[in-house]
A and B are shown apart, each in its own frame.
Chain A
Amino acid sequence: MHELPITQNVLEIALRHAEEAGGGKITNIYLVVGRLSAVVDKSVQFYWDIISEDTPAQGARLHFRHTPIQLECLDCGTFFEPEEMTYICTACGGIHIRVAGGDELCLEAIDVEQEEAAPAESGSKHP
Chain B
Amino acid sequence: MSERITVVEKITQANDQVAELNRARLDEQRIFAMNLMASPGAGKTSLIERSLPLLSKEFRLGVIEGDMATSLDADRAAAAGAESVQINAASCHLDAPMVKQGLDELDLDNLDVVIVENVGNLICPASFALGTHKSVLIASVPEGDDKPYKYPKMYRGVEVLVINKIDLLPHVSFDMDYFRQGVEALNEGVITFPLSCKSGEGIEAWVEWVADSARERIGQA
Binding site for B on A (CB under 8 A): 1-2, 4-6, 9-10, 12-14, 17-18, 21, 24, 27, 31, 36-38, 69, 84-87, 95-97, 99, 103, 105-114, 116-117
Chain A to chain B contacts (Cβ below 8 Å), 18 pairs:
A1-B121, A1-B123, A2-B91, A4-B91, A6-B11, A6-B127, A9-B12, A13-B11, A21-B5, A27-B2, A36-B153, A69-B152, A85-B149, A99-B152, A99-B156, A105-B12, A106-B9, A112-B2
Contact, CB under 8 Å: B123 / A38: yes
Binding site for A on B (CB under 8 A): 1-15, 91-93, 95, 121, 123-124, 127-128, 146, 149-150, 152-153, 156, 181-182, 184-186, 188
Contact, CB under 8 Å: B14 / A12: yes
Further pairs besides A85-B149, A105-B12: 17, Cβ < 8 Å: A1-B92, A1-B123, A2-B91, A2-B92, A2-B123, A4-B91, A5-B95, A9-B12, A17-B7, A31-B11, A37-B153, A69-B152, A87-B182, A95-B181, A96-B184, A107-B11, A114-B1
By a CB distance below 8 angstroms, the chain B residues around A108 are: 6-8
Contact, CB under 8 Å: A96 / B8: no
Contact, CB under 8 Å: B7 / A14: yes
Provide the main secondary structure of the chain A interface.
mixed
The total of interchain contacts (Cβ-Cβ below 8 angstroms) comes to 107
Identify the closest chain A residue to B10 (Cβ). Answer: A106
Contact, CB under 8 Å: B11 / A106: yes
Provide the main secondary structure of the chain B interface.
mixed
Write the nearest CB–CB distance from A13 to chain B, whole angstroms.
Answer: 5
Write the nearest CB–CB distance from A101 to chain B, whole angstroms.
Answer: 12
By a CB distance below 8 angstroms, the chain A residues around B9 are: 13, 17, 106-107
Q: How far is the CA of A87 from the CA of B115 in the complex (A)?
A: 32
Contact, CB under 8 Å: B92 / A112: no
Q: How far is the CA of A111 from the CA of B124 in the complex (A)?
A: 29
Sorted nearest first, the 9 A-B pairs with minimum C-beta distance are: A2-B124, A87-B185, A85-B149, A38-B123, A113-B2, A9-B11, A107-B7, A105-B11, A36-B153
Contact, CB under 8 Å: A95 / B185: yes
Selected contact of B185 from candidates A12, A84, A96, A117, CB within 8 Å: A96
Identify the closest chain A residue to B92 (Cβ). Answer: A1
By a CB distance below 8 angstroms, the chain B residues around A111 are: 2-5
